[in-house]
A and B are shown apart, each in its own frame.
Chain A
Amino acid sequence: MAERVEEPIKYDTVPSYPGELMGTGQRALPGDLVATRVPHDSPLRTTPLPPQNWFQKHEALIIGTVAVVIFFVAWQAVGSARIVSRLFLPAPTDVIEAFTELVKDGELAQDLGYSGAEFGIGYVLAAAVAIPLGLLLGWYPRFRYALDPFVTFLYATPRIVLLPLFIIWFGIGMESKIAVIFLGAFFAILINTTAGVRNLDAHLIKVARSLGAGDLVIFKTIALPGSVPFILTGLRLGIGHALIGVVVGELVAAQHGIGRMMAIAGATFQSSKVFAGLFCIAAAGMLLTYALQRLERHFDAWRPQR
């Protein structure tokens, strides 16, 4: 039984469709608001937006880049004008010079390797322990009640204050830094993972139960995939905490590393070297955060783009 459906009148601007202005006999110009009867199978049922020009397409990137360029030019101008002593504020060119020097004598590679190793070990260990523990804390309320006081205590305390203890326990080598990095990243990941499991949609659990799923199956098919976005957020936030651990740990006491290099440079008024170190750490943080954001977006494919 095929019902006859009156074609709907669709009001829209039809940029490249030379229709007729209703009843007037005049031809519509591109951009005119015209009412056209659009057949069901016509591609015109969706009207393309007017094409964007190059600037409109990359607006955010262009404005951002220009702002950064202006900033560096201004900085260079202030630095070159020698309003402030080079000891306090080196110009960008001085920083680049210091940076190339650090690269040339191999100091930077060694420090980066050392700090990177600390970061890598501490962060991966934190993720490996915090994700399973967070899932358990979210899933078993009684387990959570037992551990909550400890988690709250340690989360509320800046983990850096534990550094003196760690130096006593692990010495001034890599181990004490790994411990600080571990604790830094650990809580961001743990708390987000727990929140992910606890914020599960009760309706979904009901559906799974109705379909005959047991606890283990619900955990695997609902709790685990449902907490992935939260876990990734925790991992992303953990990067920042871990980097703080790297730098502060090495500033206090260390034998090698970027933080150590910066501490020495600072103590000897080599501010361009301090800036070079600062940019290295900032670059590392931005790169890692970017990678995690990409990963988050990959797992968020089901969320419509805003």
Chain B
Amino acid sequence: MKLQARDVVIHHRRQRYGDMLLAVDGATMDIGEGEFVAIVGPSGCGKTTFLNAVDGLLPITSGTLTLNGRPIDRPGHDRGMVFQQPSLLPWRTVMGNVLYGVELLGLPKGEARAVAKRFVEMVGLEGFAESYPLELSGGMQQRVNLARALAVDPEVLLLDEPFAALDAQTRETMQHELLRIWNQTRKTAVFITHDIVEAVYLADRVIVFTARPGRVKEILKVDIPRPRDLRVKRDARFVEIETRIWESIREEAARDTLAATA
């Protein structure tokens, strides 16, 4: 197993309330080499918190979280995170931003540039290498975000709702693009989203989280062959899986609302 989580409990520190919130309460999962997994769940269910822990940005309270059998306790180059906000350095060009992570690897200058250039091209931004982030559209900024994470050649790609802030059309284009790029690299990927269609379209397996505190509620296999065209979203099998997940989340969201009003 590439990535393994056993009864992972995470408390999330809330600055505003000055307390520790139980965000994830015993998440268990196994993610295999080269697998694309999507995690969905009602909002606030701790899925982003979980991903941050996988990236090593948050400590876990108990349980075990391992990558290739080694416990995760800090960020590292074996994981690459694509954040929800593009979070690009505004004073660096597209090229400079993709270069940023590669520079931190300590590669020689020329080699680093060659790597960065390859990934700028892979995400289709070769014409914008010298543009600044603020000159780009939201979709293009997320392409840079993706290229930056891929450029450090991580073993696992972590994506935290990267397309949530994009408009519907751009989001679909980016989903398609992501699959195209993923097909070239076939990296193990963990994709957080609240968009069920997106999850089913992209993933080999979809993991449904319960309402907060998050736990794995069920895991569904998406047995739809690749490569997938966007039209697959209209297939009966696709809609069937989508509906199952929708009902599952619906149940959780209702439970959450009841708990909140009780």
Q: Is residue B192 within 8 Å, beta carbon to beta carbon, of the partner chain?
A: no
Taken together as a complex, chains A and B put the C-alpha atoms of A302 and B79 apart, in Å, by: 29
Q: Do A203 and B101 touch (CB < 8 A)?
A: no
Q: Is residue A295 within 8 Å, beta carbon to beta carbon, of the partner chain?
A: no
User: Contacts A203-B83, A206-B83 given: A212-B104 contact, CB under 8 Å?
Assistant: yes
| Residue from A201, A221, A303 within 8 A of B87 (CB atoms) | A201
Taken together as a complex, chains A and B put the C-alpha atoms of A226 and B89 apart, in Å, by: 9
> In the complex, which residues of chain B have a beta carbon less than 8 angstroms from the beta carbon of A210?
55-57, 75, 79, 81, 83
Q: Do A212 and B75 touch (CB < 8 A)?
A: yes
| Residue from A209, A211, A217, A225 within 8 A of B91 (CB atoms) | A225
Closest residue of chain A to B101 (Cβ to Cβ) is A211
Taken together as a complex, chains A and B put the C-alpha atoms of A226 and B90 apart, in Å, by: 9
User: Contacts A204-B89, A221-B100, A225-B91 given: A304-B135 contact, CB under 8 Å?
Assistant: yes
Q: Is residue A213 within 8 Å, beta carbon to beta carbon, of the partner chain?
A: yes
> In the complex, which residues of chain B have a beta carbon less than 8 angstroms from the beta carbon of A221?
89, 100
Tally of B interface residues using CB under 8 Å: 25
Taken together as a complex, chains A and B put the C-alpha atoms of A303 and B89 apart, in Å, by: 12
Q: Do B87 and A211 touch (CB < 8 A)?
A: no
User: Contacts A212-B76, A221-B100 given: A302-B83 contact, CB under 8 Å?
Assistant: no
Q: Is residue A81 within 8 Å, beta carbon to beta carbon, of the partner chain?
A: no
Q: Do B132 and A302 touch (CB < 8 A)?
A: yes
Q: Is residue B41 within 8 Å, beta carbon to beta carbon, of the partner chain?
A: no
Q: Is the interface of B mostly helix, strand, loop or mixed?
A: loop
Taken together as a complex, chains A and B put the C-alpha atoms of A206 and B52 apart, in Å, by: 10
Q: Do A209 and B87 touch (CB < 8 A)?
A: no
Taken together as a complex, chains A and B put the C-alpha atoms of A304 and B91 apart, in Å, by: 11
Q: Is residue A301 within 8 Å, beta carbon to beta carbon, of the partner chain?
A: yes
Taken together as a complex, chains A and B put the C-alpha atoms of A89 and B79 apart, in Å, by: 74
Q: Is the interface of A mostly helix, strand, loop or mixed?
A: helix
Most chain A beta-carbon neighbours within 10 Å: one of B56, B91, B92? B91
Most chain A beta-carbon neighbours within 10 Å: one of B57, B83, B89? B89
Q: Do B85 and A203 touch (CB < 8 A)?
A: yes
| Residue from B90, B92, B100, B132 within 8 A of A211 (CB atoms) | B100
Taken together as a complex, chains A and B put the C-alpha atoms of A217 and B103 apart, in Å, by: 11
Taken together as a complex, chains A and B put the C-alpha atoms of A208 and B75 apart, in Å, by: 10
* B12 smallest CB distance to A (angstroms): 14
> In the complex, which residues of chain A have a beta carbon less than 8 angstroms from the beta carbon of B55?
210
Q: Do A212 and B132 touch (CB < 8 A)?
A: no
Q: Is residue B133 within 8 Å, beta carbon to beta carbon, of the partner chain?
A: yes
| Residue from A212, A213, A302 within 8 A of B90 (CB atoms) | A302
In A190-219, the 8 Å CB interface with B consists of 201, 203-204, 206-213, 217
Q: Do A207 and B91 touch (CB < 8 A)?
A: no
> In the complex, which residues of chain B have a beta carbon less than 8 angstroms from the beta carbon of A203?
83, 85, 87
Interface size class of A (residues with CB under 8 A): 20 to 34
Q: Is residue B107 within 8 Å, beta carbon to beta carbon, of the partner chain?
A: no
Taken together as a complex, chains A and B put the C-alpha atoms of A9 and B197 apart, in Å, by: 32
* A109 smallest CB distance to B (angstroms): 42
Q: Do B75 and A211 touch (CB < 8 A)?
A: yes
Closest residue of chain A to B134 (Cβ to Cβ) is A304
> In the complex, which residues of chain A have a beta carbon less than 8 angstroms from the beta carbon of B135?
304
Q: Is residue B77 within 8 Å, beta carbon to beta carbon, of the partner chain?
A: yes
User: Contacts A211-B75, A211-B104, A213-B104 given: A206-B87 contact, CB under 8 Å?
Assistant: yes
Taken together as a complex, chains A and B put the C-alpha atoms of A55 and B100 apart, in Å, by: 46
Q: Do B81 and A303 touch (CB < 8 A)?
A: no
> In the complex, which residues of chain A have a beta carbon less than 8 angstroms from the beta carbon of B76?
212
Q: Do A209 and B75 touch (CB < 8 A)?
A: yes
Q: Do A301 and B104 touch (CB < 8 A)?
A: no
Q: Is residue A244 within 8 Å, beta carbon to beta carbon, of the partner chain?
A: no
Q: Is residue A222 within 8 Å, beta carbon to beta carbon, of the partner chain?
A: yes
Taken together as a complex, chains A and B put the C-alpha atoms of A302 and B90 apart, in Å, by: 7
Taken together as a complex, chains A and B put the C-alpha atoms of A301 and B133 apart, in Å, by: 11
Taken together as a complex, chains A and B put the C-alpha atoms of A81 and B235 apart, in Å, by: 92
* A237 smallest CB distance to B (angstroms): 21
Q: Do A226 and B57 touch (CB < 8 A)?
A: no
Closest residue of chain B to A303 (Cβ to Cβ) is B134
Q: Do B90 and A303 touch (CB < 8 A)?
A: yes
Q: Is residue B9 within 8 Å, beta carbon to beta carbon, of the partner chain?
A: no
Closest residue of chain B to A209 (Cβ to Cβ) is B75
Q: Is residue B37 within 8 Å, beta carbon to beta carbon, of the partner chain?
A: no
Per-position binary interface string of chain A over residues 256-271, scored 1 when its CB falls under 8 Å from any chain B CB and 0 otherwise: 0000000000000000
Q: Do B85 and A211 touch (CB < 8 A)?
A: no
> In the complex, which residues of chain B have a beta carbon less than 8 angstroms from the beta carbon of A302?
90-93, 132-134
> In the complex, which residues of chain A have a beta carbon less than 8 angstroms from the beta carbon of B83?
203, 206-207, 210
> In the complex, which residues of chain A have a beta carbon less than 8 angstroms from the beta carbon of B77?
211-212
Q: Is residue B152 within 8 Å, beta carbon to beta carbon, of the partner chain?
A: yes
Closest residue of chain B to A211 (Cβ to Cβ) is B101
| Residue from A201, A217, A299 within 8 A of B104 (CB atoms) | A217
Q: Would you mind naming 25 contact pairs between A and B with Cβ atoms under 8 Å apart?
A: A203-B83, A203-B85, A204-B87, A206-B57, A206-B87, A207-B81, A207-B87, A207-B148, A209-B57, A210-B55, A210-B81, A211-B75, A211-B77, A211-B100, A211-B101, A211-B104, A211-B148, A217-B104, A225-B89, A299-B91, A302-B91, A302-B133, A303-B132, A303-B134, A304-B132
Seen from chain A, the residues whose Cβ lies within 8 Å of a Cβ on chain B are 201, 203-204, 206-213, 217, 221-222, 225-226, 228, 299, 301-304
